[in-house]
A and B are shown apart, each in its own frame.
Chain A
Amino acid sequence: MRQLLRDWFDERVGLDLFERMLQKPLPKRGAWFYTLGSATLSLITIQFITGAFLMFYYVPDGEFAASSVRYSTEQVRFGWYLRSLHRWSANLLFIVIGLHMFRVFVSGSFKRPREFTWIIGALIFWTAIGIGLTGGLLPWDANALWIGTVFGNTLSYFPLVGPFLRSALLGGEHVGTLTLTRFYAMHVWVLPLILGVLILLHLYLIRKHGLFGSVVEYRNQIQALEAKGVPRESIIVTKMTPDETEPFYPAQVFRDSIVAFFLISAVSIFSILFPFSYRGEEPPPARIIPRPEWFFWSVDEWLMYFPGRLIPIGLILLTLFFLFLPFIPFVERHPEVSPIRRPVPTIIGAWVYLFIIILAMMAGSRIFNY
């Protein structure tokens, strides 16, 4: 019966394609680290689901946005739960993306021929940041308003084009009705659409090269290098025999499911224990202290170091850092993948992460105490 059903579908939709994809081999060792990517995907899925249902009650209008959020949080059954799920999984998402990027960087998984997987991953990271940024404005409380203002004003420090960028983003001179609708459109449709396309491309490339890809594909290259007289010591990659690998399905899928289960349970538990309530009555204007989302803390702290005329320098350095991310595979081109055998990139990567964490911690202390 099952076989019959399978054949019926196979004839019409071509199941063998998917089956072949599921059978791709990948290394047994360190397989738990490979679950970070699928963990990202499962959190993004949560975002798509909860986000879609949050739209049932949300009104993107300067007058009603706050009231509608309040209504959906306080009156709608499980509204608080959906909203907290959305925000908590957004918070966790950034941690998981950061870990995933670090894992990929350290294990050299972006090396030839997988440069495009990394590039698209970097684009996904940009898009996720954009979604986080635009989403911060939607609750439309006092804090959201100032987030928009500060973001717009930051852009205005770009030389020459700054003021134009600012008003193009905000849809005018200040954060108002037009800002909310365009941020809303970006948050719920434009950027998620881009994100979806990018994720599909990312998955396609992963399946094309396979997690096992590196070694198989490098073998020819290593032989070519050896023929040229390059010392083997400096080009060696981990050798992997078939008995060190296993097919993606079911072992890795099982691991992915375990991780997804734990992550989503964690998000649910956080949502139940620490729900995001509506902020309640707004404080008098003089007491408002704008607080960025924590994943922008390090950026916030970084911008603080550049006073007066130096502000654009800080901003440009920051932009260059983000623009640099997709180009990493073209900067570090040698085929070595082991983090121990290429200590310089490992050390630099560790420094960058350490620096970002330090900045975020200092900003957090500042924000906690002011």
Chain B
Amino acid sequence: MNQTTEEPIGRRHFLERAILAIFGAIGAMLTPPILSYILSPVSRIREDLAHSTQWAPVSPLSEMESIGDLPRMFEVPYRVKEGWRIRETSRQVYAVRKGGQLVLFSTFCTHLGCPTAWDESKRMIICPCHGGLYNNFGEVIGGPPPRNLAQLDYKVENGTVYLKDPADVYEVGWNDPRKRA
């Protein structure tokens, strides 16, 4: 392009700035809506939890009577709200008797959330992902997990054990994210 010398430099300068401003405005018009569009589910986590199952039945209390100090795994079905849908799903929990007291704790490894399992021959709870090891009470005995398996709240009603907030599955880290303010 030929530089037209008679054109005042001020005009050219203004046009350049104006182009920048126009594209800046277009960007400003598009970016925040898109960002908040993407991040919308993050702000709805609490709401979704509130619409999910609050108390999920684990098993009749009579079945739990026979549990000793070795953990037994239970399948807990529950409903979870995911945006526009309410989905049926399930999770596992361990039940064990610790000092005469029934304790329920999660099967999700506190390292990266993999599903752990009780290994009968090694007498440990083992996480298959990165080799986290827990004892029968879900306490860390080796490997990378930063804390013990999460203890879960439960209640007994009409002879059935109910698990509190089964849809809240974020359990990794050395602080229990459940206990956030």
A and B touch in the complex (CB under 8 A): yes
**Residue A67 at the chain B interface, CB threshold 8 Å:** no
Instruction: Tell me how far the C-beta of B116 lies from the nearest C-beta in chain A, rounded to whole angstroms.
Output: 9
Q: A-side binding surface: helix, strand, loop or mixed?
A: helix
Instruction: Tell me how far the C-beta of B79 lies from the nearest C-beta in chain A, rounded to whole angstroms.
Output: 12
Q: Which of B22-30, B40-48, B60-68, B154-162 binds A?
A: B40-48
Q: Do A308 and B87 touch across chains, with their CB atoms under 8 A apart?
A: no
Q: How large is the interface on A (under 10, 10 to 19, 20 to 34, 35 or more residues)?
A: 35 or more
Q: Mark A107-147, 1 if CB is under 8 A from B, else 0.
A: 00000000000000000000000000000000000000010
CA distance A174 to B82 in the complex (A): 9
Report chain A residues within 8 Å CB of B168.
173
Q: Who on chain B is nearest to A363 by CB?
A: B130
**Residue A156 at the chain B interface, CB threshold 8 Å:** yes
**Residue B95 at the chain A interface, CB threshold 8 Å:** no
Q: Do B128 and A168 touch across chains, with their CB atoms under 8 A apart?
A: no
Q: Do B170 and A370 touch across chains, with their CB atoms under 8 A apart?
A: no
Report chain B residues within 8 Å CB of A176.
80, 82, 87
Q: Do A166 and B170 touch across chains, with their CB atoms under 8 A apart?
A: yes
Q: Do A149 and B82 touch across chains, with their CB atoms under 8 A apart?
A: no
Contact of B38 among A168, A172, A370 (CB under 8 A): A168
Q: Mark A171-187, 1 if CB is under 8 A from B, else 0.
A: 11110111000100000
Q: Who on chain A is nearest to B73 by CB?
A: A286
Report chain A residues within 8 Å CB of B144.
303-308, 311
**Residue A274 at the chain B interface, CB threshold 8 Å:** no
**Residue A336 at the chain B interface, CB threshold 8 Å:** no
User: Interface of A with B (CB < 8 Å)?
Assistant: 62-63, 146, 149-150, 152-154, 156-157, 162-164, 166-168, 171-174, 176-178, 182, 285-290, 300, 303-309, 311, 366, 370
- List the 9 closest pairs (A to B, CB-CB), nearest first: A307-B144, A176-B82, A289-B128, A177-B82, A171-B41, A153-B113, A304-B130, A308-B146, A153-B112
12 additional A-B residue pairs with CB within 8 Å, beyond A149-B113, A309-B146, A366-B131: A156-B170, A163-B177, A166-B170, A172-B44, A173-B169, A285-B90, A286-B117, A290-B128, A307-B144, A308-B145, A311-B111, A370-B128
